[in-house]
Structure 1
Amino acid sequence: MEDNKIAVGLDIGTTKIVAMIGRKNEYGKIEVIGIGKAKSLGVKRGVVSNITQTIQSIQQAVDEAESVSGIKIEDVVVGIAGQHIRSLHHSDYITRNNADEVIEESDIYNLVNQVHKLVMLPGEEIIHVLPQEFKVDSQSDIKEPIGMYGGRLEANFHVVVGQVSSIRNIGRCIKSAGLNLNEITLEPLASAEAVLSQEEKEAGVALIDIGGGTTDLAIFKDGIIRHTAVIPFGGNVITDDIKEGCSIIEKQAELLKIKFGSAWPGENKESEIVSIPGLRGREPKEITLKNLSKIIHARVQEIIEHVYLEIKNYGHETQKGKLIAGIVLTGGGAQLKHLRQLVEYITGMDARIGFPNEHLAGDSEEALSSPAFATAVGLLMESLEKEVKVEKTEEIVEEFIPENIEVDDDEEERDFEPKVEIEKKPKKKSFFEKFTEGLKDFLDNAE
């Protein structure tokens, strides 16, 4: 069972909740064993707004995935999005005790750990600390410092920050649904894992994930994450506009958008009309496709311009920040007809639609490689990686615990029961918590 680890990704979206169970096959590709989908009722704009409904939807998705796969789900990796997410850049360094020894993973661990202690604004918490380039002594632009000699290790970090209350609400829903929260991952990062190739990340690429409630952006250059953002509107605002503009109910508006919608208003003739049955014996409504695509076009344009502003802020017009691979569109909203052409027209950058099939095993179902499942596939990948990482981290914590740690008197008085085994799957905790726990374990065992 060791090589064939099974992991779970749970995508709590605004329109749907997806639970995906999978494992890696012998070629390192992901084999999806079970998938469950439920309509998401308690999530607005990527943030949980109704705990009870969200728990029900999660349970529904999980039950479906369990019955398809015959496997009981315990630990999950969950995506987070929403307007409260912001990212910042930060540089930090550590001075190593012994410059004659090569830099090891524990040094990077210590450095990342130090960034996790940054003081945030009240009510905010660090979700990710992502190292960009390292600097060893005075040599800069190092991608991989492990194995090098040096006394001072410095790095630039991309730090992703979110609201504590939103993170805790997600945790609460997961727990109440009877699951363990293994890790929280930023959704655009998960989607990027699933749909971008390494070449694109090297060349420079912007991933735009258009979901129901949010549009997420992740920018890569030289293989490193450079910028992330969550814009608080997505496909649902288009549906709302159709609903208002055509005076029809939401369900009909959604169907109209999917079946006849187009982001490009020029191609429909005035004579193309779709008839919608009226409510309870009222006259049917007739809507011209030209008007429909005008409504959609106006909204989509607004979303793209917002994202393009973020891309400009990152500095893609400078020589150094040029995104050669252009834009990759994914998420359910990327299935809108002629969206790619509109994006190319507004931004002047190349665009393609991103399907998460590159990492999936060859015999996967067709439906799984839909852009709508990009985040779920990315979270599943993250979940499989996490299993490996947890074991590594534990080894590091055990190995590199400073010996000169003083124990508080009151801590000694507490009744420590020696623990024999270290849990292999800790729930998601900050690096710092993991580290302090490792220390406590160490002290317990030492006594």
Structure 2
Amino acid sequence: MEHNLAVGLDIGTTKIVAMIGRKNEYGKVEILGIGKSKSLGVHRGVVNNITQTIQSIQQAVQEAEAAADLKIEDVTVGIAGQHIRSLQHSDYITRPNSENVIDEDDIDRLINQVHKLVMLPGEEIIHVLPQEYKVDGQAEIKEPIGMYGGRLEANFHVVVGQVSSIRNIGRCVQSAGLNLDGITLEPLASANAVLSQEEKEAGVALIDIGGGTTDLAIFRDGIIRHTAVIPFGGNVITEDIKEGCSIIEKQAELLKIKFGSAWPGENKDNEIVSIPGLRGREPKEITLKNLSKIIHARVVEIVEQVYVEIKNYGHEEQKKKLIAGIVLTGGGSQLKHLKQLVEYITGMDTRIGYPNEHLAGDSDEDITSPLYATAVGLVLDGLKRQERKKIEEEEVEDVAEENQTEEIREEPKKERRSFLDKLTERVKDFLDNAE
């Protein structure tokens, strides 16, 4: 695939989306094609039926290929799911020679040290995000490179996940005939698509309400500070409506989308929806007030769990305050009056996030729906990776030209690779060697 194209594959609990995007000359992203299929075989963000997931992926990919008239090979995939958790950890290294300035290698050594943390069985570190550094006890250093010092320490935000779940996703992608180009944490992808740089600086919590999970990502001073995945999403709301009103799932989902509201006070007592009964049975009458009571109870539960995570991050402390409040995205954010409910529960300013932060101005209405936040974010991530590759290749060529002779090919100074790049490679190696 050419350099300025990338494909995001969002394997969700409710839907699978394949999205093809490219950078235009103004540095904005144009979406060339989009395909979506019903996701079968994913539960709470985790693949639990490989065969069904492969079929759903192929269907979404074919649809996107047809729309863009392109063949898809490489994809960037998101991981979320109920197995993701995060922890705070601080670590330090003592440098052998404090007369040299701190460089990339020191930071690598420090980060590799974090990797030695002992995890629960089956868990692996997905992401190590340095928060701030200390050099010889001097705190709050954002960038230690180029400084002198003997002891380098840092606080890290460490994201942990189940390695088998990640490999299963890799397996599905590979079996669908695609090449795994990169893996990204879904809350990070959605955040890239929806949040502005100012919000990330001021402090903001992004809540992405999907079908099976609700993802949270908190930023402050431009750095990601906290991530969490809560194993509930829009599906549990539908489930409750289904049980509470004794109707089938399809009807419950439609009721939720068409008439649902998170705020019971809105509906008058006499507003009634009639639902056709199953074969030969009487239609059912459901009051909208009852419907919104059911929805309200569930949504409050989800929002309160998210709020617990925001408190865990410590937003009540002055220097951790989230000035930009909360941004809601994902399909679940389209529920009526959800914004008001979230403001009421958390007391924080709230807006609905549309993934148009980096999209070209003439993008289709559909694409900028909160439903596609993760997919757009994955495309952005893929494009960034393409650019890095291109720069590295050019550097290799430059070095080769300078040396002319093939033997002394010096490795150009390469950017520190992120954990996710390393993780992608480990997953790829595993899949290549696994039977």
TM-score under structure 1 length normalisation: 0.85
Q: Which residue of 2 aligns with 1:386?
A: 385
Give 1:241's aligned residue.
Answer: 240
The one-letter code matched in structure 2 to 1:118 is L
The TM-score normalised by the length of structure 2 is 0.88
Equivalent residue runs for 1:220-235 within 5 Å: 220-235=219-234
Give the structure 1 partner of residue 72 of structure 2: 73
SS at match of 1:287: strand
C-alpha distance in 1 between matches for 2:410 and 2:320: 48
Q: Equivalents in 2 of 1:146, 1:34: separation in Å?
A: 42
| Conserved 8 A contact 1:42-1:53 | yes
Q: CA deviation at 1:315?
A: 1.4
Q: Deviations over 1:14-65 (max 9, x none)?
A: 0000111112122221111111111101101111011100000011111111
8 Å CA contact 1:135–1:141 kept in 2: the answer is: yes
Aligned letter for 1:194?
A
2:157 aligned with 1:158: yes
Q: SS where residue 320 of structure 1 aligns?
A: helix
Which position in structure 2 is the counterpart of 1:340?
Answer: 339
8 Å CA contact 2:183, 2:421 repeated in 1: no
Identity of aligned residues (%): 80
Residue 120 of structure 2: aligned partner: 121
RMSD: 2.9
- For 2:84, the aligned partner's letter is I
Residue 313, structure 1, aligned to residue 305, structure 2? no
> SS where residue 37 of structure 1 aligns?
strand
Structure 1 match to 2:433: none
Q: Deviations over 1:54-90 (max 9, x none)?
A: 0000111111111111222222111111111111122
| 1:113 and 1:431 in contact (8 A); partners too | no
TM-aligned CA deviation for residue 215 of structure 1:
0.6
Contact residue 215 and residue 231 of structure 1 kept, 8 A: yes
Of the structure 1 ranges 110-119 and 4-13, higher mean CA displacement relative to structure 2 is found in 110-119
Q: Provide the C-alpha distance between the structure 1 equivalents of 2:110 and 2:19, rounded to a whole number of angstroms.
A: 33
Cα separation, 1, equivalents of 2:11 and 2:425 = 25
1:400-423 Cα shifts (integer Å, max 9, x gaps): xxxxxxxxxxxxxxxxxx9x999x
In structure 1, the residue matched to 2:37 is 38
**How far apart are 1:155 and its partner, in Å?**
2.1
* 1:313 Cα deviation after fit: 1.6
Gap runs ≥5 in structure 1:
398-417, 438-447
How far is the alpha carbon of 1:147 from its aligned partner?
3.8
How far is the alpha carbon of 1:122 from its aligned partner? Answer: 1.5
Cα distance change on mapping 1:202 and 1:9 into 2, 3 Å: same
Q: 5 Å matches for 1:264-413? A: 264-390=263-389
Q: 1:62 to 1:433 in 2, by over 3 A?
A: closer
1:232-276 Cα offsets, whole Å, 9 max, x none, are 010001101111111111001000100000001001111111111
C-alpha spacing 1:265/1:65, structure 2 compared with 1 (3 Å): same
Determine the C-alpha separation between the residues in 2 that align with 1:433 and 1:206: 30
Inter-CA distance 71–144: structure 2 relative to 1 (3 Å threshold) = farther
Distance 1:359 1:104 in 2: 32
Contact 1:195 1:356 in 2 (8 A): yes
Relative distance call for 1:395 and 1:95 in structure 2 (3 A) is farther
One-letter code aligned to 1:325: A
Tell me how far 1:433 sits from its aligned partner. 7.0
Find the aligned partners of 1:257 and 1:421 in 2 and give their Cα distance.
Answer: 60
SS at match of 1:10: strand
Q: What's the CA shift for 1:432?
A: 11
One-letter amino acid of the counterpart of residue 88, structure 2: H
Specify whether residues 156 and 35 from structure 1 end up closer, same or farther in structure 2 by C-alpha distance, changes over 3 A only: same
Change (3 A) 1:335 1:320: same
2:258 matched to which residue of 1?
259
Letter matched to residue 378 of structure 2: L
Of 30-39 and 335-344, the range deviating more from structure 2: 30-39
Q: Could you tell me how far apart the structure 2 residues matched to 1:432 and 1:54 are?
A: 19
Equivalent positions of 1:11-90 (< 5 A) are: 11-90=10-89
1:215·1:233 contact (CA, 8 Å) conserved in 2? yes
Partner of 1:400: none
- Which has the larger displacement, 113-122 or 56-65? 113-122
| Number of positions where the alignment pairs a residue of Structure 1 with one of Structure 2 | 412
The match for 1:430 is 422
Greater Cα shift, 90-99 or 218-227:
90-99
Mapped to 1, the partners of 2:151 and 2:26 lie a distance apart of 39
The range that moved more, 220-229 or 116-125, is 116-125
- Whichever residue aligns with residue 54 of structure 1, its letter is T
Alpha-carbon separation, structure 1, partners of 2:424 and 2:44? 30
- Shift, 1:106, TM fit: 4.4
Q: CA deviation at 1:339?
A: 0.2
Alpha-carbon offset, residue 321 of structure 1: 2.0
Secondary structure class of the residue paired with 2:307 = helix
